[in-house]
Structure 1
């Protein structure tokens, strides 16, 4: 995974990898928080 990403982006592969991981982390956190809130909202009724 990391090697493929390094091959794609020759300029500063480490920061791009960390930025991608951070984006995926925040996306998953917000997505699952919204999903959990919607699930709790549905189970309230």
Structure 2
């Protein structure tokens, strides 16, 4: 499902403060999920 992965990749690009070490430790998929959750929380706050 490319439509589901695209927003996660977009969120990761919009959140460059996620450290590279975190990506390597958690793994790519988990980091994308984290980025998505961060973006959702930012949208809810505004």
Number of aligned residues = 27
Higher RCO (C-alpha under 8 Å, 6+ residues apart):
2
Question: How does the TM-score come out when normalised to structure 1?
Answer: 0.52
Could you list the runs of 5+ residues in structure 2 that have no partner in the other structure? 1-18
Q: Which structure 1 residue ranges, 4+ long, deviate > 3 Å from structure 2?
A: none
Partner of 2:44: 30
Could you list the runs of 5+ residues in structure 1 that have no partner in the other structure? 33-45
Larger radius of gyration: 1
Instruction: Output one character per residue of 1:2-42: Cα deviation in whole Å (capped at 9) or x when no partner.
Output: x2111x32xxx11111000000000000011xxxxxxxxxx
Question: How does the TM-score come out when normalised to structure 2?
Answer: 0.51
